[in-house]
Amino acid sequence: MTYDDDMKRRLRRVEGQVRGVLKMMEENKDCKDVVSQLSAVRSAVDKTMALVVAVNLEQCIREEQENGGDTSKMVQEAVGLLIKSR
pLDDT of residue 38: 97
Judge whether residue 29 has pLDDT over 80. Answer: yes
Contact 14, 51 (CB under 8 A): no
The 10s digit of each residue's pLDDT in 33-85 is 999 999 999 999 999 998 998 888 888 888 888 888 888 888 888 888 888 77
pLDDT of residue 9: 96
DSSP state string for 13-66: HHHHHHHHHHHHHHTT--HHHHHHHHHHHHHHHHHHHHHHHHHHHHHHHHHHHH
pLDDT of residue 83: 84
